[in-house]
Amino acid sequence: MGGRVFLAFCVWLTLLGAETQDSRDCARWCPENSSCVNATACRCNPGFSSSSEIFTSPTEICDDINECVPPSKVSCGKSSDCRNTEGSYDCVCNPGYELVSGAKTFKNESENMCQDVDECSSGLHQCDSSTVCFNTVGSYTCRCRPGWEPKHGIQNNQKDTVCKDTHFPTWTPPPGVHSQTLSQFFNKVQDLGRDFKTSSAKVTIQSILKGLDELLEAPGDLETLPRFQQHCVATHLLDGLEDVLRGLSKNPSIGLLNFSYPAGTEFSLEVQKQVDRNVTLRQNQATMQLHWNLAQKSGDPGPSVVGLVSVPGMGKLLAEAPLVSEPENQVVRNETHQGLLPILLSDVISAFLSNNDTQNLSSPVTFIFSHRSVIPRQKVLCVFWEHGQNGCGHWATTGCSTMGTRDTSTICRCTHLSSFAVLMAPYDVQVLCAIIASALHYLYLAAFTWMLLEALYLFLTARNLMVVNYSSINRFTKKLMFPVGYGVPAVIVAISAASRPHLYGTPSRCWLQPEKGFIWGFLGPVCAIFSVNLALLLVTLWILKNRLSSLNNEVSTLQNTRMLAFKATAQLFILGCTWCLGILQVGPAARVMAYLFTIINSLQGVFIFLVYCLLSQQVREQYRKWSKGFRKLRTESEMHTLSSSAKADTPKPSTVN
């Protein structure tokens, strides 16, 4: 055993000595970037080459192989390039591209995942504030913003583009509205803005109005938007159109312009130096008259601008728009009956001046509208489009007066400028309507209050085992019920009318308006009375059931059940519990529930007649007394008639002389 271990140890020492000798021999003379083959020969490492594959001369050098030089077997793939490294190579994405994985290099085409880098969204571009970054394949370009043009007269689409301001107003699509038709229109506007030059102002104005005319003639997917979004789009178009036309029109060389387009859009413009005279702009369907001193603030440089544009196609987007009238701030809402909605009678027109401050003019502006014939019993209103806080708007009459109207024309006078039109609406009978609404409010509350008193009386009667007999009600109860039954509703209506009288009555119906929770002046008491009545009814029926069972054990269960079922059904109607159907008038079944609500609640009077007249012992006895008295009176009358007739038929005795 010891001999074997000694032999193995000797072999290990021999091998170790040989390896040490080989390493010392290779390290002594093999050049850099090579490795020894044996004690007398060397070979270049992968990625390097020499004059021969295996060499024995110490003077040999291993040079780097450039794998990227043609003819090359390296294939990195599309949008990438080969980059040589010492002893190897790397594949890298071309400028403007990057690997999806985020790595910097890869080795072959199968690993190529180079994609375009969006320098514009990632903030890697160098476009300044006068330009807009547009991403391109592998790079980006800087283009002048709308209202700017290349400083040297050429749009070179390079990264070093320098732009100058051309005063083209900013007009972008409204936020939150998704419409392909609208996007195409604004793309055209942006193209016009990028190419705008002061010398081409007339051509640009014509192109914008032509694009708007085509947009409104064929709105496309704009007609599928909800009504409120259509109103928002109309507000944005009217605002932007006014700003763009004002900005483009400030050119003394324009003078007087008149354009018209196939869908009915018309544009009239006059640009002059400040003069002291009146100006009139006439179109086929509208005329505007004002004094020149309104056009521009004193001291402002440049010419004065007065413009008028008629946009009849805007009526498609303003259909069913609400109207806010000036005196009561009443809103005609979209859910009212179609026949009661204000109807757009004329074209929509927009007026603008070089003066931006047109909300409180020193002298009024007169508009003469030509429109369709007025329907009898309809009121003609001069209105303007007022912008709301939510970016939409509504028709309003503040600051505009109707000076006169004929069958097909109306004269309006306004103390501010905006977008105007003539509406046709039902005559305002709101004073009368408010009185009717408050009277209905009081009568309904009184009816429900008496329902509550009836429920309380039934409950007390059942609890005290008393037979219902109104003649036995004490004077205290009489004195309490009448003030409560008629006084409490009067107090509620008085408080409501004193706090918000303008919320009584609407142009569509004479009832309470739902604005600011005013409708709860009726719904609150009704819901409370309904809940109390339902609870008292259930308790009363439970007491009656127990009392009837204990008073007469011979009464069959069937008879008892029938009697309770009839009383429960009758009291559900009498106490107004069936009004709960009004809460169910929502969703697809709203119309059905409305019919049920009307029919079932109309039976309340029938059940009151049955319970308190036909089925009331007192009433029946009184009917018997009346019937007996009537029969007695009739009998006496007949007897009197017969007696009188008999006396008349008795012959008188003759007198003999």
State the amino acid at position 246 in one-letter form. R
pLDDT digits (tens, 9 = 90+) for 436-451: 899 999 998 998 898 8
C-alpha–C-alpha distance, residues 78 and 333, integer Å: 61
412 in the same domain as 349: yes
CB 280 within 8 A of CB 266: no
Cβ atoms within 10 Å of 585's Cβ, excluding its own: 15
In a domain, 84, yes or no: no
Same domain, 227 and 365: yes
Residues 491 and 379 in one domain: no
Question: Which is higher by pLDDT, 106 or 563?
Answer: 106
Nearest to 532 by CA among 480, 484, 468, 575: 575
Question: Measured between alpha carbons, how far is residue 416 from residues 5, 315, 327, 582 in Å?
Answer: 116, 21, 18, 46
pTM: 0.46
What is the crossing angle of helices 557-574 and 520-551, to 10°? 160
β pairing state of 419-426 and 48-49: unpaired
CA distances 112 to 87, 410, 601, Å, are 22, 73, 78
Please check whether residues 46 and 150 belong to one and the same domain: no
379: left (phi over 0), alpha (psi -120 to 50) or beta: beta
Tokens of 583: 């809460």
Q: What is the pLDDT of residue 18?
A: 41
Give the highest mean pLDDT range of 92-96, 385-389, 537-541, 548-552: 92-96
| Cα–Cα distances in angstroms (integers) from residue 579 to residues 442, 444, 582, in the given order | 17, 12, 6
CATH assignment at residue 131? 2.10.25.10
Phi, psi (deg, nearest 5) at residue 352:
-145, 155
Q: Can you tell me the distance from the alpha carbon of 497 to that of 543, in angstroms, rounded to the nearest whole number?
A: 42
Strands 266-272 vs 278-282: parallel, antiparallel or unpaired: unpaired
**What phi and psi, each to the nearest 5 degrees, are found at residue 654?**
-80, 150
| pLDDT over threshold 80, residue 566 | no
Q: H-helix or E-strand containing 445?
A: helix 430-463
Task: State mean pLDDT over 541-545.
Answer: 76
Domain interval for residue 51? 2-64
- 572 neighbors 534 (Cβ within 8 angstroms): no
Same domain, 320 and 196: yes
Rg (CA), the chain: 48
235 with 376, same domain? yes
List C-alpha distances in Å: 606 to 272, 350, 615.
79, 60, 12
Q: Which of 379, 374, 312 is nearest to 340 (CA)?
A: 379
- List the structure tokens of 168: 């083209």
Residue at 123: amino acid letter: G
Of 428, 446, 468, which closes a domain?
Answer: 428
pLDDT at position 7 is 40
What is d(CA 40, CA 35) in angstroms, rounded to the nearest whole number?
11
Do 376 and 437 have their domain in common?
no
pLDDT of the residue at 465: 54
| Whole-angstrom distance, CA of residue 384 vs CA of residue 418 | 6
Quick check: is 87 in a domain? no
- The per-residue pLDDT for range 279-303, each reduced to its tens digit, is 899 999 999 999 888 887 766 666 7
Q: Which of 30-39, 196-205, 224-233, 486-495 has the lowest mean pLDDT?
A: 196-205
- 602, 625, 642 - which closes a domain: 602
DSSP string of 128-158, one letter each residue: -TTEEEEEETTEEEEEEPTTEEETTS-----
Q: Find where tokens 């060397």 sit.
A: 42
What would the mean pLDDT of 47-76 be, rounded to a whole number? 86
Say whether both 318 and 463 belong to one domain. Answer: no
> What local confidence, expressed as pLDDT, does residue 20 receive?
42
- For the chain, the domain total comes to 4
% of residues, the chain, pLDDT over 70: 76
φ and ψ of 217, to 5 deg: -70, -35
Give Cβ neighbours of residue 360 (< 8 Å, ≥ 6 apart): 415, 416
- The β-bridge relationship of strands 48-49 and 63-64 is antiparallel
Are 435 and 424 in a shared domain? no
DSSP-derived secondary structure letter, 378:
E
Mean pLDDT of the chain: 78
Number of residues that this document lists for the chain: 657
pLDDT tens across 609-630, in order? 877 777 777 777 887 888 887 7
Residue where a domain terminates, one of 428, 445, 479? 428
CA–CA separation, 395 and 411 (whole Å): 18
Residue 327 is predicted with a pLDDT of 46
Q: Give 512-538 pLDDT, tens digit per residue.
A: 887 778 888 988 998 898 888 888 888
**What is residue 159's predicted lDDT score, i.e. its pLDDT?**
61
Give residue for tokens 């009217």.
238
Is residue 92 one of the residues assigned to a domain? no
Alpha helices in 69-179 (DSSP H): 119-122
